[in-house]
């Protein structure tokens, strides 16, 4: 394993960068981060649409969620890769199309997780806010979402971890991310699939584990602030921002 790492370590880590395109773990991390950053606000939007006071918006969001949940992610990726350029006439890189597919996919699942928390918030919270004269958007921004997003942090992290692992499907449309790199190395070595794929597993595990720990840290910080023992001013600011 050590000699695999010493021979192929850099390619696993960053692909052919800086002499070629970015790849390996670095590309997996970048794809995950971008998809996550886009999927999160999108999912909040989906959740709000699913609980919208306007029936047409609710129905539209439901159709979207049912559709995305009803097809495999791989199909969405193929679709984005082969069909979208055909229809729109604009060719984009495989990486971008995969990110779009991931965002569309996660938007539905993450959106449902957030919707669950939205509907679990006691009705009195919205009533109290609206009774003060605050409108729908102010109420959502300052009263509802800060509570809901914290309460569904565990299920959101769950979805984020799934998203990180789902980037591996990008290897099937030729994106040179972690799984693709591992496949290439395996093809060169031919005799050591167990070791190569153990390395691949370890790499995904580390990424996902780090995400879990980060969320645990955030949860305990927020809990500490809201139970009142004082944290640092910066953390208070973060907690109030979310």
Interface with another protein (CB under 8 A) = 122, 124-125, 127-135, 138, 142-143, 146-147, 150, 226-228, 239-240
Spatial CA neighbour of 105 closest among 58, 30, 34, 163 = 163
Q: Which residues pair with 22 in a beta bridge?
A: 15
Q: How far is the CB of 150 from another protein (least distance, A)?
A: 7
Q: How far is the CB of 124 from another protein (least distance, A)?
A: 4
Q: How many CA atoms lie within 13 A of 212 on its CB side?
A: 9
Q: How far is the CB of 61 from another protein (least distance, A)?
A: 24
Residue placing its CB nearer to another protein in the complex, 45 or 146: 146
Q: How far is the CB of 148 from another protein (least distance, A)?
A: 10
Q: What distance in Å separates the CA atoms of residue 10 and residue 23, rounded to the nearest whole number?
A: 10
Residue 138, H or E segment: helix 136-138
Q: How far is the CB of 141 from another protein (least distance, A)?
A: 9
Residue placing its CB nearer to another protein in the complex, 143 or 157: 143
Residue placing its CB nearer to another protein in the complex, 51 or 92: 51
CB-based burial label for 213 (10 Å; 0-12, 13-18, 19+): exposed
Residue placing its CB nearer to another protein in the complex, 14 or 239: 239
Tokens in use for 210? 């780090």
Residue placing its CB nearer to another protein in the complex, 60 or 150: 150
Residue placing its CB nearer to another protein in the complex, 131 or 191: 131
CA angle 197, 32, 78 (to 5 degrees): 80
- List all residues 6 or more positions away from 150 whose beta carbon is below 8 Å from its beta carbon: 219, 222, 242
Q: What distance in Å separates the CA atoms of residue 170 and residue 77, rounded to the nearest whole number?
A: 8
Q: How far is the CB of 239 from another protein (least distance, A)?
A: 8
Residue placing its CB nearer to another protein in the complex, 83 or 132: 132
Tokens in use for 86? 């055909």
Spatial CA neighbour of 183 closest among 73, 2, 23 = 23
Q: How far is the CB of 222 from another protein (least distance, A)?
A: 9
Chain centroid to CA 116: how far?
Answer: 18
């Amino acid at each position: 394993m050590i000699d695999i790492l010493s021979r192929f370590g850099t390619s696993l880590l960053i692909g052919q960068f800086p002499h070629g395109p970015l790849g390996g773990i670095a590309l997996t991390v970048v794809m995950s981060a971008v998809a996550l950053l886009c999927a999160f606000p999108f999912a909040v939007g989906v959740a709000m649409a699913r609980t919208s006071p306007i029936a047409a918006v609710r129905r539209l969001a439901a159709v979207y969620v049912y559709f995305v949940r009803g097809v495999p992610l791989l199909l969405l990726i193929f679709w984005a890769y082969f069909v979208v350029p055909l229809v729109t006439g604009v060719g984009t890189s495989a990486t971008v199309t995969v990110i779009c597919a991931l965002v569309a996919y996660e938007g539905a699942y993450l959106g449902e997780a957030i919707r669950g928390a939205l509907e679990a918030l006691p009705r009195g919270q919205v009533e109290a806010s609206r009774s003060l004269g605050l409108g729908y958007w102010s109420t959502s921004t300052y009263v509802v979402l800060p509570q809901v997003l914290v309460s569904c942090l565990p299920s959101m992290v769950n979805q984020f971890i799934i998203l990180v692992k789902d980037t591996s499907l990008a290897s099937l449309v030729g994106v040179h991310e972690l799984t693709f790199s591992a496949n290439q190395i395996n093809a060169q070595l031919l005799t050591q699939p167990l070791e190569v794929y153990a390395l691949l597993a370890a790499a995904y595990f580390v990424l996902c584990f780090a995400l879990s720990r980060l969320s645990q840290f955030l949860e305990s910080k927020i809990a500490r602030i809201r139970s009142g023992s004082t944290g640092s001013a910066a953390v208070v600011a973060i907690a109030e921002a979310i």
